[in-house]
A and B are shown apart, each in its own frame.
Chain A
Amino acid sequence: MYKIIKAEFIAPNVKSFILEAPLIAKKRQAGQFIILRVHDKGERIPITIADSNAEEGWINIIVQGLGKTSAHLNTLETGDHLQDLVGPLGLPTHIENWGTLVCMSGGVGTAEALPIAAAGKAAGNRVISIIGARNKDLIIAADRMAEVVDEVRISTDDGSAGRHGLVTDVLQDLMNEGIIPDMIVAIGPLPMMAAVSNQTRELAIPTMVSLNAIMVDGTGMCGACRATVGGKTVFVCVDGPEFDGHQVNFKELGSRQRMYKKQEEESHKCFLEKQMKKIKAEQLAVEV
């Protein structure tokens, strides 16, 4: 069992976990992920490592409660335990001094972009972070990002914080101001990464995306996470998770991500019903 040292919500439905994992903390590099199981009948899900501390022996993950497993995970509190935790998985981010590095992130992707931004800064880049969210409540890790990069710019779909618009609009603003990125890293929901890649392809700016694929073992054994990059099939778990955004077949990956949509809804519904029963039972117990 793997101890949760600290669990706290940092945005609606978004929880940050500090997990006891000394070996992973010692080894992990920017861009790598872990696989966990919440309970003994649980599925294996991959989550990017947002932060770690080798001396104190912990790693940090940020989880948005979307499906059954992430919703269940987000019910866990400080002091609880995970059933299984393994990593670090995937190839580390290739970092060099490109010049100007722009990290574009959406949703919980900002947590995943943090270590890459920090590593980019450490390598001597001028680093600009563009953070996008639907509204101001859903912006996460902006303060932590501000500590490691030269400049943070924010956009929201509803204009409740930063620029009213999308991260791609902010990139256009930068360009208009004469800031031409030498390298772009985009991490977030698939449509956002696809939009950024389309935009930067025309601008001929190299763009790296971190792909989220459905995985089982995470070591290359099963092939669940395959994607098409540059016309070739790759396994996201061992060949990635980072790839040239201009080469990724986002349409295929999008439909692969929806492969179990029906089953996921069924599973989530079962879980919510069980949770409701539990809450009702607890209420009854209190009343008695």
Chain B
Amino acid sequence: MNRERPISFNTVPMKERLTIQRQSMPEQDPNIRNCNFLEVNLGLTPAQAVLEAQRCIECKKPTCMDGCPVNIKIPDFIQLICNQDFLGAAQKIKEDNSLPAICGRVCPQESQCEEVCVMGRRFEPVAIGRLERFVADYAMNHGNGAIDLFQKPEPSGQKVAIVGSGPAGLAVASDLAKEGHDVTVFEALHEFGGVLVYGIPEFRLPKSILRKEVATLEAVGVTFVKNFIVGRTMTIQELMNEEDFDAVFLGLGAGLPRFMNIPGENLNGVYSANEFLTRSNLMRGYDFPEWDTPLYRAKHAIIVGGGNTAMDAVRTAKRLGAEEASIVYRRSEEEMPARNEEIHHAKEEGVKFMNLVNPIEFIGDDQGSVVAARCLRMELGEPDESGRRRPVPMQDSEFIMDVDMVVIAVGNGSNPLISQTTPEIETNKWGNIVADEDGRTSMDGVFAGGDIVSGGATVILAMGAGRKAAIAMNQYLKAKVGSFA
């Protein structure tokens, strides 16, 4: 990574920098926000952002950049914030990350850039995520709105199809459009964004932010096609042979919800997290009947799982009016894969945590609706293959609790649509598409990345995979032109 050291605009003496407190982001009051779907975090003020930026001690070797899956030039953009050049800072981030307003909101910074921030060893790390979010929002709301992502390059004359408009697909679209390729993004649903629109709730990522990010890409020439299912509406072969796409990127996501395979899972009122969140987010079920899609409003909801999706679901259930919305997780809080911030926010909002509990059956009434869950209490035994201590049932610990809604948030398998319709693309035993480090699949010209390759992961990892694939795709396309010349 060749990068010249940025000019320092930070006039605060080094010693004083250590004494500045990490700036916390204003938030909606927990007891107000747990009744609405507006964004929880309100963002730093400009003064706070400058103060926070001044905490950066400008390390010679900025470890924060290594901690970022897309290697954003973090020290550089922070220096520009010190200089109050917020648009410049946004531009700097956009060199490496086309979706900063999204990543500033949903990246797990505490286990990436901020985890390795040198300040964090003795003090608190610089709030890199909050700063990223601040400048991205600032750029959206100032100047020409969506800042110039880049100058429109010379057209390469080559067509690229991107399947899926989630984080991986958007990252590839941005990078390949920069290279002058003619990029078309195909989306199966009626809105763009993939998991960002159907999965992540409005209160964490407002749809308006996502729409602006998509509009920015449209402005630089990316074509977006909705209601188009590659594999069904048209196959990959047809895209390449009949529609003359020179390369294809598959960023389908991990779209197949896992269930627990316990009795009663098909009772009414038992949802997959995907369905519950899609009904609420994409279909705006929380505004039923003004919007047409219905959604259960439970009195006592349990959400099974301990990841970010489980937190999104439980906080949604609470907002829909649940008197009691509980996380039921078979391990302890220490093993929870969810971000600390999400767990913390959920607790503030009145979510109950039932850790070391595992449901073994859901019980229904004569109408086929769930009314109770039969559960076991668990304790932690020896570590399993994931390195976490294995939960084992405690003797005689069975109990029954009344519930009128269950959301299963125990992860996703891979969607079978492409493997059903394109057998030439190799998949593994879990149904994930097999791709090398650069995203090449077993079919020439077809690349893949994100959850469809890795299994369920995070937004930024999918974007990182997309960016890697974009580099390989660009090389592939250039070589293809070369071979004709």
Contacts and interface: CB of A to CB of B under 8 A. Distances in A.
Label chain B's interface by main secondary structure.
Answer: loop
B288 A263 contact: yes
Given A27-B234, A43-B283, A255-B367, A217 B188 contact: yes
Interface stretch (A55-63, A128-136, A182-190, A220-228): A220-228
B381 interface: no
A224 B277 CA distance: 12
B368 A256 contact: yes
A23 interface: yes
A31 interface: no
A217 B190 CA distance: 9
B289 A89 contact: no
Contact of A42 (B257, B292, B416): B292
Interface stretch (A4-12, A79-87, A156-164, A191-199): A79-87
B85 interface: no
A23 B255 contact: no
Interface string B342-371: 000000000000000000000000011100
Interface string B265-278: 11011011011001
B414 to A, nearest CB: 10
Interface string A226-266: 11100001000010000000000001100110111001101
B397 interface: no
Interface residues of B, number: 44
B266 A219 contact: no
B266 A216 contact: no
A221 B289 contact: no
Contacts of B265: 233
Given A27-B233, A27-B234, A233-B265, A220 B292 contact: no
Given A43-B283, A238-B417, A256-B368, A23 B233 contact: yes
A219 B255 contact: yes
13 contacts: A23-B228, A27-B234, A41-B292, A44-B283, A83-B190, A85-B227, A219-B229, A219-B415, A221-B253, A221-B256, A238-B416, A238-B420, A266-B289
A220 B275 contact: no
Contact of B292 (A84, A223, A267): A267
A216 B275 contact: yes
Contact of A89 (B229, B268, B284): B229
Contacts of B382: none
Nearest to A254: B368
A252 B232 contact: no
A263 to B, nearest CB: 4
Contacts of A69: 292
A238 B259 CA distance: 16
Interface of A: 23-24, 27, 37, 41-44, 68-69, 83-89, 91, 216-217, 219-224, 226-228, 233, 238, 251-252, 255-256, 258-260, 263-264, 266-267, 270
A221 B198 CA distance: 10
A23 B283 CA distance: 25
Given A23-B233, A222-B272, A233-B266, A260 B294 contact: yes
B194 to A, nearest CB: 10
Given A41-B284, A226-B266, A238-B416, A86 B292 contact: no
Nearest to B254: A221
Given A88-B233, A216-B283, A255-B369, 9 more contacts: A27-B233, A43-B293, A86-B227, A86-B228, A87-B229, A219-B415, A219-B417, A222-B274, A238-B417
A255 B416 CA distance: 27
B226 interface: yes
B274 to A, nearest CB: 5
B227 A84 contact: yes
A245 to B, nearest CB: 18
Closest 8 CB pairs of A and B: A255-B368, A263-B294, A221-B255, A222-B275, A86-B227, A43-B292, A223-B272, A260-B294
Interface string B224-257: 0011110011100000000000000000010111
Interface string B174-214: 00000000000000111000000010000000000000000
Given A24-B233, A43-B293, A267 B266 contact: no
A81 to B, nearest CB: 13
Nearest to B276: A222
B484 interface: no
Contacts of A260: 294
Contacts of A220: 255-256, 415-417
A223 B226 CA distance: 21
Contact of B275 (A41, A223, A264): A223
Contact of B268 (A43, A68, A256, A270): A256
Contacts of B278: 216-217, 221-222
Contact of B289 (A85, A217, A267): A267
Contacts of A83: 190
B430 interface: no
Given A222-B278, A223-B274, A256-B266, A270 B232 contact: no
B257 A221 contact: yes
A27 B232 contact: yes
B290 interface: yes
